[in-house]
Structure 1
Amino acid sequence: MFKLEIGVDDGQLTKSAIEMQRRHIPFALVLTATRLAQRIKKGELAVMRKRLDRPTPTTLNSLFLKAATKAKPARVYFKDSWTSGIPADTYLQQAVFGGVRPHKRFEKSLIAQGIMKSGQYALPSKSFLNQYGNVSRGTMTKVLSGLGAAETTSGFKANATDSKRSMAKGNRRYFGGVVGDESGVWERMNTKWGAAVRPVFVFSDGAPAYRTIFPFFKIAENIARAHRTQEFNDALAQTLATARP
């Protein structure tokens, strides 16, 4: 989250300037902070579209802006909670700061069921990626169900069984294990040449590492620095032009 607090040094102001500050500058500062925040949000979105790999509409719509008040600074931030799914504030951490990513919820479920080792990470097969470069939530649920790793909450039943209804969904076609010399999650398939399998996730013994590609705070600071004076002058001029005598 990036906060914008704008202030002035009134140590050298004349009496008339002090009166102007008392009456008009506080509003001008609030207006300046809000307008800078608007610029920052627009700039951040432009960089996200350019540098992130096919960001989803949900990711882009996760960036929020709160206008400044006399008591609170303007804020530009990512929503840090959703009713379901992982918030952008969490999964964008590696893009913003770089470094090694932690285990995802899906991987934690695989580890809890003994399907994957605690030091491994699940890397998706390209054939299962959607237009945004992600494995869809629906596919993830089917895989976890087929592996018996979907039930993480008491009373919640989503694992595949041998019932006719469950078998009709086809989730039992997913399994974890070693095929050839690679361990991962696999899908059983019927082809015109007979039965076959293909990888859904391949397990890696090393954690994926990321470089910083979306320096959120640096972008915000650069925009604020470049436009602070202009926005303050414009805001003060507007405040004085519309002020009551």
Structure 2
Amino acid sequence: MFKVDLSLDHAPVTKALQELEHKHLPFVLALTKTRLAQRVKKGTITVMKQRLDRPTPTTLNSLFVKMATKTKDAQVYFKDSWASGIPADTYLQQAVSGGLRPHKRFEKALIARGIMRSGQYAVPTAPFMNQYGNVSRGTMLKILSGLGAAESAGGYQANATDSDRSKRKGNAHRFFSGDVGGTQGVWERKTMGMGDAVRPVFIFSDSAPRYRTIFPFFKIAGNIVQANYAGEFSAAWAAAIASAKP
């Protein structure tokens, strides 16, 4: 989270400003901080589009601005909760500061079921990745269902069973985990005319994927604030004077 923190000491005080009522300054600073935070968001999204590898619309929409008040600073932050997978503020930390990738919810489900060791990571293969370089949520749910690793919620059990309906969906036959030719992972089984053929969906790796710093969020935000502070303060001051009662 980046906080736009300005105080009266930061204000470019002039003689004319000193002669005006002091009550205008809290409003001016709050408006300035909010507008600067909005600039930080816009500039950060531009950098994300340039430097992240095929960022999803969800990722690009994960940045929020909390407006400043007369007593509170403006904030620019990544959404800290998500419908599925890793929260945006968690997985984007690796892009901001680098480091090892944490386990995703899909991987945690495999580990909890004993399908994958706690020190392993599931690396997707190209045929199953979408235009953003990810495996779709729908495909991952089918895999977890077929492997008996899906979570149940509200009394609904998503795992494949021996029922006729479950057999028709075929996830338990289609997906399996194990060692094929010395490679551990999750595999897709396809029935062919001459028998079954298999191909890997996820390969299990014993080392965590490591991220390099892609965009230094705090440095970018600081540069945006520094470059635009004077202009935004002047505009906010003009707005305050224009709206002030005579």
TM-score by length of 2: 0.91
- 1:148 maps to 148
- The residue type equivalent to 1:9 in the other structure is D
Residues in 2 aligned to 1:105 and 1:84: alpha-carbon distance in whole angstroms = 7
Q: For 2:83 and 2:199, how far apart are their aligned partners in 1?
A: 33
> Structure 1 residues 87, 30: CA separation in 2 closer, same or farther (over 3 Å shift)?
same
Offset at 1:71? 1.6
Match of 1:56 in 2: 56
Q: 1:101 to 1:116 in 2, by over 3 A?
A: same
Letter in 2 for 1:186: W
**Closer, same or farther: CA 48–16 of 1 in aligned 2, 3 Å:** closer
Residue 220 (1) aligns with residue 225 (2)? no
Give, in angstroms, the shift of residue 137 of structure 1: 0.7
Q: Which amino acid aligns with 1:214?
A: F
1:22 partner SS: coil
Quick one: distance in 2 between partners of 1:183 and 1:24? 66
Equivalent residue, structure 2, for 1:31: 31
1:207-240 per-residue CA deviation (whole Å, 9 max, x = no partner) reads 1111011222111111011111121122222322
AA aligned to 2:30 is V
CA drift of 1:134 comes to 0.7
Q: Is 1:96 the equivalent of 2:96?
A: yes
SS in 2 for 1:6: coil
TM-score normalized with structure 1 length: 0.91
| Per-residue deviation, 1:8 | 2.5
Residues 216/16 of structure 1: CA separation in 2 closer, same or farther (3 Å cut): closer
Q: CA RMSD in A?
A: 2.3
Distance 2:153 2:204 in 1: 25
Q: Report the Cα distance in structure 1 between the residues aligned to 2:104 and 2:87, rounded to whole angstroms.
A: 12
Q: CA deviation at 1:241?
A: 3.3
Going from structure 1 to structure 2, the CA distance change for 1:215 and 1:208 (only over 3 Å counts) comes to: same
Q: Which amino acid letter does the alignment assign opposite residue 132 of structure 1?
A: Y
Matched residue, 1:177: 178
Which residue number corresponds to residue 87 of structure 2?
A: 87
The aligned residue for residue 115 of structure 2 is: 115
Report the secondary structure of 2:157's partner residue. Answer: coil
What's the secondary structure of 2:71's corresponding residue?
coil
Secondary structure of the equivalent of 1:115? coil
Give the SS at the match of 1:92: helix
- Superposition deviation, residue 164 in structure 1: 1.2
Structure 2 residue 193 is the aligned partner of structure 1 residue 209: no
Superposed CA deviations along residues 43-101 of structure 1, whole A, max 9, x for unmatched, are 01101111111111121122111221102111111111235554322222211221011
| Runs of at least 5 residues in structure 1 that lack an aligned partner in the other structure | none
Equivalent AA in structure 2 for residue 167 of structure 1: K
CA distance, structure 2, for counterparts of residue 95 and residue 210 of structure 1: 6
Q: Does 1:194 align with 2:195?
A: yes
Map Cα deviations across residues 162-210 of structure 1 (whole Å, 9 max, x no partner). Answer: 2110011121111110000100000101235532100010001111111
1:104 is displaced (CA, Å) by: 1.2
Alpha-carbon distance between aligned partners in 2 of 1:189 and 1:134, rounded to the nearest angstrom: 22
Indicate if the aligned counterparts of 2:152 and 2:158 stay in contact, CA closer than 8 A.
no
Letter in 1 for 2:198: V
CA distance in 1, matches of 2:69, 2:164: 60
